[in-house]
């Protein structure tokens, strides 16, 4: 006899990918360097003709139907997507439902086999889908570039291998937690002369319909962890992309649906639910009582609304204000080059980009010398100027500005007060003459201007803040993290005691710190399998990619006991 | 260099208890039978003179100060506690603060060393405290008996070994999760000609002040899992017992404080915050912004209030309505004996006690015979009658009625409608002539009377419900679990297909099922290390004892990276 017997078991796909999942579980637990998907676009790894072939695919898409989805639909929606590089509308049409409620009904109808199959079968199907996505990494890159404004290289890496690694990480932890306890056992309790014996069966029950709400800047990277975490734990998922960035995640959903159907599952288990600015459907979906799980990346105000919805488990990444604390440096130039890159990369449109630079007003120790505050600020300003005006590096690093709102925020930043140390200017891109671009603006503010610098100024806007001393810098950075959230913190110090103190104080407000980064390692970067992304320990988000909670909260453990008398 | 360096490390206590914690982690993951603390009161295990010595201690306590707590206080509060066996007030005085906010200040002030010490030190201290509690199991039993109304044997088992095992389980899982990922490592990423190298440090950050709100029926069993889970993960805890059941948990808190102080930690890390019906302080504590974690056992309405408080992680066990589905039996008498015991044990005042018996109106198969509905109901009624009127077993099984409210509910139950099959009556207890007792009342209701039987009728009130067939029985039991919550379900069937279907349908509503229990295994019982208690998957509670979430939600993982250039 077997209770909770799984349906549609598939060992073939699991066997094919077993090595990958076991290696991923090991990597997550060792937190060493590991990447299943190499981050550089390489013909050897990704196929000799892959880039050219997929570029053609991409070029056919604007103005046309995206017809690779296998999901049920009753209409087509033409998207608001627009390339920040060309300023041309993409005008892609996606299959959709005319009413949001129909997505709920459809995913619920498609759910039953997936809910009742086992962890191995789910893991096999999901890993196979990632392999298919790998075969589309270049199209993913082009579509990401021309929706988000990320440079081509960043689009490839962030939406391709890095995102796939994060997805694999979620599958691996999900698989591990689903199989952590035995499925069945015979339980025998000594009870005096006799033994009491029960057969026990354990199962995992998915929570219910999952809603993955995407953002406009990282449409794949920020969506796939929650999407795959919900799927591995047995839940159906409605993917509601940002209306300005549908195409990249549509490719992912299409591949998942393809593998589901090939293996006898219903494509509607995962549905793309596109919408347009004119008729947004996020709230209607989120408030539906059948929706039990919500993954969200976006603004603090919408994130707080999501978190406040009763009867849901939510995983949010909201706004954070990241700080760089400069106490002392070994090499002023090396520090300045490094932080200049972090400010400029994708024009500060990463949730991990630094905004506030706290520097003691009396200056800092740099190598053997004492360097006044103004000189530290100038070193950063000069490094940014050098980078963004570099004819090749400049446009490649800054990419384009995703939204008009961010563009407007930059142009209005000089009115915030303080002393503008570096004006923003368009960054010319020879390939895209119509690009919407803007180099960083750097403004000096007094420590007292907390109301200004403790707001997230999304985009390439940085503040240099003169503090009494490093103690005050840490106090301001940690206070801001506690009240307004922070995803990370950078710090420069040559003093181990100061380092320990900064690490400790920022840990108390749930903020990881990167110390003394120079060269090609940047505070913006979190490595899959090794770095937790967001801690959940401050208002920047209530979840962490990918800690055990991220998968555990998506299912319930239930058991049965059978007495054979 | 070391970031996040622990303070006050203590290897002595960890070494002493290392075997226990490792065995407990193994037991939790194998879910086999395991008990660290033998459940029978045994002189060999617990000491030749332990019972007599501790009885004396107990007898000195009524009317006196409980002076074993080492916590800061500014007043003494005389409790409302009253023995349901003697109906005498205990009038014990406990050290207390005159204002609830002072507990917050005190535990926060006591927190810093505990927050910064490591998992091994915490585990050693906490396991040592359990050993001290073990040395008080008999006093724990007397104090539990004379506050809750549990029989002496049940008081010993539930508040003594069973509770200590559950506490150990929480410590073990907490320790395992705290140490799941490395504390530090060197991370090396191949990057073309060079390698990028970072030192990485990981730490765990406790969420903040934890509030453990106790109940009147299981003052230790329901409090220690959350209490120890919060402590192992580094949080300070305010224990707010039910005003009618302070003494038992005061003994536990005293032992924890004693071991804390012996090892250089501040006693105020764990504080008893007693209150009286006249001036309840639970809401004031719960709403304090510094309180980040709340463990609660009690009513659904108060539990919902706790869950709705913003900015808190809550772990609730609320009311549930448990069902027994009777489809077919091998032996009618064996089933009836078993469920009669489950209804009667501690007069139905267990959260795991069954309330609703669903039986097909056309009767059931029992062995080779077909037995009509009326006969099945009569077998249960007769078994209960036989049990509670048995001069020795009766009083030992039913114990006393903890509260006047429950007593009133029983006396008013016959007015609920339906047909009373068995009247409630006082159960005489020769040792305690003044006892507040009541045998079970059993009422037959039609399937249509959902409004009556889907409410939790806390106490010895059972409904026998005639259904169309087993399908309807399952539908009603699962619907009730989905809407109103259930902690468990019992089922009797000789048909494996029916068994699979019941297990499946109840799993979907987060409800574990025990099949065909007869003899000395009862649906009310959940075994530490093997059975999860409450699933979190229906309104009976949002947490499960002890799954990984139960400890993980109490802390945050934070990391630091150091570049050495």
Q: Write out pLDDT tens, residues A48-105.
A: 999 999 999 999 999 999 999 999 999 999 999 999 999 999 999 999 999 999 999 9
Going by their DSSP bridges, the two strands A270-272 and A237-240 should be labelled as parallel
Within the 399-458 window of chain B, which residues sit less than 8 Å (CB to CB) from chain A? Answer: none
- For B227, the token pair is 């209490």
Same domain, B365 and B492: yes
* Residues A97, A242 within the same domain: yes
Residues 307-366 of B with CB under 8 A from A: 308, 310, 330, 334
Q: What is the largest CA-CA distance in chain A?
A: 88
> Among all residues of chain A, which has the CA nearest to that of B565?
A518
Answer yes or no: do A449 and A553 share one domain.
no
Tell me phi and psi for residue B370, to 5 degrees.
-100, 130
Q: Give the pLDDT of residue B1.
A: 80
Query: CA dihedral in degrees (A4, B363, B341, B429; nearest 10)?
Result: 160
A438 and A301 belong to one structural domain = no
A148, A259, A294 from A239: Cα distances, Å: 18, 17, 10
Residue A292 in tokens: 């039990």
Domain membership of residue B121 (yes or no) is yes
State the average pLDDT over residues A363-387.
98
Rounded CA separation A123/A17 (Å): 8
Instruction: Give B407→chain A minimum CA distance, Å.
Output: 33
Alpha carbon of residue B208 to chain centroid: 22
**C-beta of residue A402 within 8 angstroms of C-beta of residue A84:** yes
Q: To the nearest 10°, report the CA torsion of A61, A65, A71, A77.
A: 110
Handedness of CA A15, A16, A17, A18 (dihedral sign): positive
User: Is residue B118 located within the same domain as residue B223?
Assistant: yes
Cβ contact (<8 Å) for B518 and A201? Answer: no
Pick A515's closest partner by Cβ from B187, B205, B563. Answer: B563
| Residue B443 pLDDT | 98
Q: Which two tokens stand for residue B513?
A: 């099922």
Q: Which two tokens mark B13?
A: 């206590």
Phi, psi of B95 (to 5 degrees): -65, 140
d(CA A289, CA B200): 42
**Residue in the block written with tokens 């995640």:** A249
The CA–CA distances, whole Å, from A530 to A20, A517, B214 equal 16, 17, 40
The domain total for chain A is: 2
CA distance linking residue A306 with residue A315, whole number of Å? 9
Per residue in B16-47, pLDDT tens?
Answer: 999 999 999 999 999 999 999 999 999 999 99
Pick from A149, A161, A299, A159: nearest CA to A221:
A159
Is the per-residue pLDDT at A268 higher than 80? yes
Query: Is B10 inside a domain boundary?
Result: no
B311, B285 contact by CB (below 8 A): no
Is B40 touching A (CB cutoff 8 A)?
Answer: no
Shared domain for B428 and B382, answered yes or no, is yes
A241/B383 Cα distance (integer angstroms)? 61
First to last CA, chain B: 15
**Chain B residues touching A517 at Cβ < 8 A:** 561, 563
| Residue at B142 is within a domain | yes
If phi > 0 it is left, if psi is from -120 to 50 it is alpha, else beta; for residue B149 that is left
Mean pLDDT of A134-161: 98
d(CA A93, CA B266): 65
Among A31, A515, A527, the residue with its CB nearest the CB of B181 is A31
**Mutation target among A198, A303, A474, A516 for the B interface, most CBs of B within 10 A:** A198
Who among A2, A507, A561 is closest to B558 (CB)?
Answer: A507
Cα–Cα distance measured from residue A54 to residue A184, given in angstroms and rounded to the nearest whole number: 47
Residues B76 and B65: beta-carbon distance below 8 Å: yes
Q: Which of A308, A486, A501, A507 should we substitute to test contact with B (largest number of B Cβ atoms within 10 Å)?
A: A507
Whether A511 and A550 map to the same domain: the answer is: no
Any domain includes B440: yes
Contact A256, A232 (CB under 8 A): no
Residue B14 to residue B17: CA distance in whole angstroms: 5
Q: Return the pLDDT at A525.
A: 92
User: Which of B310, B504, B552 is facing A552, going by the closest CB pair?
Assistant: B552
Q: Which residues contact B501 (CB under 8 A, 6 or more apart)?
A: B474
B188: chain A residues, CB-CB within 8 Å: 32-33
Residue B451 burial by Cβ neighbours in a 10 Å radius (0-12, 13-18, 19+): exposed
Beta bridge partners of A316: A296
DSSP state of B161: I
Residues of chain B short of pLDDT 50, as ranges, are none
Q: Within 10 A of B51 (CB to CB), how many other CB atoms are there? A: 19
Instruction: Indicate yes or no: CB of A182 within 8 angstroms of CB of B31.
Output: yes
pLDDT for the residue A320: 86
A206-222: average pLDDT = 98
Spell out which residues of chain A touch residue B499, defining contact as CB-CB under 8 Å: 1, 3, 562
Cα pseudo-dihedral A542, A548, A554, A560, rounded to 10:
-140
Is A319 a residue whose pLDDT tops 90?
no
User: Is B114 a domain residue?
Assistant: yes
Residue B319 is predicted with a pLDDT of: 86
Q: Write down the pLDDT at residue B51.
A: 98
Treating both helix axes as pointing N-terminal to C-terminal, what angle do B247-262 and B119-134 enclose, rounded to 10 degrees?
A: 130
Q: Residue A412 belongs to a domain with what CATH number?
A: 3.40.309.10
Strands (DSSP E) found in A5-152: 75-78, 93-96
CB A437 within 8 A of CB A348: no
Q: Which of A33, A191, A196, A524 should be substituted to probe chain B, the one whose Cβ sees the most B Cβ atoms within 10 Å?
A: A33
**Nearest chain A residue to B4, by CA:** A504
Q: Of the candidates A3, A556, A561, which has its C-beta nearest B510's C-beta?
A: A556
pLDDT at A406 over 90: yes
Closest CA relative to residue A151, chosen from A437, A442, A521, A525: A437
pLDDT in the model for residue B193: 85
Contact B519 A557 (CB under 8 A): no
Checking if the pLDDT of A363 tops 90, the result is yes
Shortest Cα–Cα distance, B4 to chain A (Å) = 6
CB contacts of A481 in chain B (<8 Å) are none
Does A83 map to a domain? Answer: yes
| Chain B residues close to A536, C-beta within 8 Å | 556
pLDDT at A56: 98
Does the CA dihedral A68-A69-A74-A78 come out positive or negative? negative
Residue A328 lies in a domain: yes
For residue B522, being part of any structural domain is answered with: no
Whether B205 and B225 share a structural domain: yes
Cα separation of A283 and A215, whole Å?
15
Neighbours of A446 (CB within 10 A): 15
- pLDDT at position A293 is 98
Q: Which of B523, B560, B564, B565 to mutate to test the interface with A (most CBs of A within 10 A)?
A: B560
- CA A479 to chain CA centroid, Å, is 25
Contact criterion met (CB < 8 Å) for B563 and A518: yes
Across the range A223-229, mean pLDDT stands at 98
Measured between alpha carbons, how far is B527 from B39 in angstroms, rounded to an integer? 11
Give the model confidence (pLDDT) of B367-402 as tens digits.
Answer: 999 999 999 999 999 999 999 999 999 999 999 999
- Contact: A310, B308; criterion CB under 8 Å: yes
Distance between CA atoms of residues A323 and B558, nearest Å: 16
| Residue B97 structural domain | 49-318+543-563
Please answer whether residues A60 and A91 qualify as being in contact, where contact means their C-beta atoms are separated by less than 8 angstroms.
Answer: no
A525 vs B contacts (CB less than 8 Å)? none
* Alpha carbon separation from A457 to A48, A248, A406, A452, B483 (Å, rounded): 42, 26, 9, 9, 45
Q: How many other C-beta atoms lie within 10 A of the C-beta of residue A491?
A: 27
Does the CB of B482 have a partner CB in chain A at under 8 Å? no
Q: Do residues B351 and B255 both lie within one domain?
A: no
- Nearest by Cα to A553 from A365, A342, A314, A381: A314
CATH number, domain with residue B193? 3.40.605.10
pLDDT recorded at residue A194 = 87
Q: Report the Cα A69 to chain-centroid distance in Å.
A: 23
Report chain B residues whose CB lies below 8 A from the CB of A503.
3-4, 201, 560
Distance between CA atoms of B356 and B345, rounded to whole angstroms?
Answer: 16
ipTM value > 0.95: yes
Q: Which residues contact A120 (CB under 8 A, 6 or more apart)?
A: A9, A10, A11, A14, A175
Is the CB of B503 less than 8 angstroms away from the CB of A185? no
Clarify whether residues B349 and B308 are in a common domain.
no
Query: B294 and B340, same structural domain?
Result: no
The answer to whether the CB atoms of B516 and A563 lie below 8 A apart is yes
CB-CB under 8 Å, A3 with B530 = no
Q: Exposure of B102 by Cβ count < 10 A (0-12 exposed, 13-18 middle, 19+ buried)?
A: middle
CB contacts, 8 Å: A530 with chain B: 187, 200
| Helices of type H across A151-266 | 152-159, 161-178, 224-232, 247-262
pTM above 0.90, yes or no: yes
Residues B367 and B452 in one domain: yes
Q: What is the per-residue pLDDT for B324?
A: 98
- From the CA of B510, how many Å to the nearest CA of chain A? 6
| pLDDT over 80 at A565, yes or no | no
Distances (CA, A) of B499 to A184, A427, B212, B388, B485: 15, 69, 38, 31, 21
């Amino acid at each position: 006899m077997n209770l909770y017997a799984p349906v549609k078991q598939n060992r073939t796909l699991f066997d094919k990918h077993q090595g990958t999942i076991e290696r991923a579980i090991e990597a997550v637990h060792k937190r060493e360097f590991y990447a299943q998907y190499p981050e550089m676009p390489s013909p050897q790894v990704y196929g000799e003709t892959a880039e050219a072939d997929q570029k053609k695919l991409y070029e056919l898409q604007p103005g046309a139907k995206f017809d690779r989805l296998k999901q049920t639909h009753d209409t087509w929606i033409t998207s608001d997507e627009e390339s920040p590089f060309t300023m041309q509308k993409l005008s892609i049409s996606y299959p959709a439902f005319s009413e949001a409620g129909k997505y709920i009904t459809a995913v619920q109808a498609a759910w039953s086999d997936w809910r009742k199959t086992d962890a191995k079968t789910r893991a096999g199907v999901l890993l196979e889908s990632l392999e298919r996505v790998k075969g589309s990494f270049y199209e993913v890159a082009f579509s990401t570039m021309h929706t988000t404004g990320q440079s081509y290289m960043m689009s490839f890496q962030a939406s391709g291998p890095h995102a796939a690694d994060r997805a694999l990480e979620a599958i691996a932890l999900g698989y591990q937690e689903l199989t952590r306890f035995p499925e069945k056992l015979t339980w025998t309790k000594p009870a005096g002369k006799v033994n009491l014996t029960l057969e026990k069966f354990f199962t995992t029950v998915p929570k219910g319909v999952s809603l993955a709400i995407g953002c406009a800047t990282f449409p794949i990277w920020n969506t796939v962890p929650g999407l795959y975490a919900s799927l591995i734990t047995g839940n159906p998922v409605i993917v509601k992309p940002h209306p300005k960035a549908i195409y990249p995640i549509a490719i992912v959903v299409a591949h998942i649906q393809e593998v589901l159907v090939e293996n006898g599952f219903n494509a509607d288990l995962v549905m793309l639910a596109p919408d347009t600015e004119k008729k947004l459907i996020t709230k209607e979906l989120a408030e539906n009582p059948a929706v039990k799980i919500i993954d969200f990346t976006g603004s603090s105000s919408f994130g707080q609304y999501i978190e406040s919805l009763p009867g849901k488990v939510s995983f949010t990444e909201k706004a954070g204000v990241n700080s760089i604390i400069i106490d002392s440096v070994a090499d002023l130039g090396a520090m300045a080059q490094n932080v200049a890159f972090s400010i400029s990369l994708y024009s500060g449109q990463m949730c991990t980009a630094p905004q506030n630079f706290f520097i003691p007003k009396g200056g800092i120790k740099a190598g053997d010398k004492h360097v006044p505050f103004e000189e530290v600020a100038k070193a950063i300003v000069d490094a940014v100027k050098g980078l963004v005006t570099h004819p090749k590096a400049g446009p490649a690093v800054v990419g384009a500005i995703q939204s008009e709102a961010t563009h407007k925020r930059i142009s209005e930043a000089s009115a915030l007060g303080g002393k503008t140390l570096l004006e923003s200017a368009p960054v010319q891109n020879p390939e895209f003459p119509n690009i919407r671009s803007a180099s960083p603006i750097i403004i000096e503010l007094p420590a007292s201007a907390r109301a200004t610098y403790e707001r997230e100024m999304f985009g390439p806007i940085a503040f240099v803040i003169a503090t009494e001393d490093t103690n005050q810098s840490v106090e301001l950075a940690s206070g801001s993290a506690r009240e307004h959230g922070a995803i990370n913190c950078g710090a420069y110090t040559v003093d181990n005691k100061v380092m320990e103190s900064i690490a400790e104080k920022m840990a108390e407000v749930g903020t990881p710190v990167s110390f003394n980064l120079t060269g090609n390692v940047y505070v913006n970067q979190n490595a899959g399998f090794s770095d937790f992304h967001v801690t959940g320990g401050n208002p920047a988000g209530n979840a962490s990619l990918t800690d055990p909670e991220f998968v555990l909260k998506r299912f319930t453990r239930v058991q049965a006991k059978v007495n054979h008398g």
